[in-house]
A and B are shown apart, each in its own frame.
Chain A
């Protein structure tokens, strides 16, 4: 079955330190991977996506993600965290099928401490 895992419910990091939010996936065929961020009482905002090409994808607000096919991972990273990065982060995969074609991970809450 197609699935997306985010092994950490919560990630805490100090402001100015690098951050990583982990995502692994299990899909058949080529994965099309996405990261979204959700601030309190807001909709999900698109951060970045991997479709093909360079394994390092750069996105909004200084975020980047690294696609690793052998480890089936797509970890979200940022070199220097800001308090304003505190939010809920979702990893998702888009499938090449006719039915439900987006699968979301359970989300990881990031807290950046001042």
Chain B
């Protein structure tokens, strides 16, 4: 158990809909990262937050948005969903010192029909 919690584990929805994925980082970790993984492919970095502020943005579509709340949990919002958005979405957290590693949640599998 990495200590990173993601909900829901599975989500099936229709094209055009909107969903919210939730992540609770490990206790004490201030940084949260979101990644997308399609069909056992590589990891696509979406966005990173540190203590409530956006720190880095990767290949995140304009239809997607995220935020990190004062209690450090984070949400990834996906709107106007398309078939191609079907993927595993991972959240990860880390400490921001001592060159610490990322700890990953088990992911949220999104299926868009």
Contact = CB atoms under 8 A, between A and B. Distances in A.
B42 A100 contact: no
Interface residues of A, number: 26
Interface stretch (B14-22, B76-84, B103-111): B103-111
Contact of A45 (B58, B88, B99, B104): B104
B102 interface: yes
Interface string A84-107: 000010101010001111101111
B55 A43 contact: no
Contact of A43 (B41, B45, B101, B105): B105
Contacts of A94: 99, 101
A102 B33 CA distance: 10
A43 B104 contact: yes
Q: Which of B4, B41, B56 has the most CB of A within 10 A?
A: B56
A32 B97 CA distance: 12
A41 interface: yes
A46 B102 contact: yes
B40 interface: yes
A88 B41 CA distance: 9
A22 interface: no
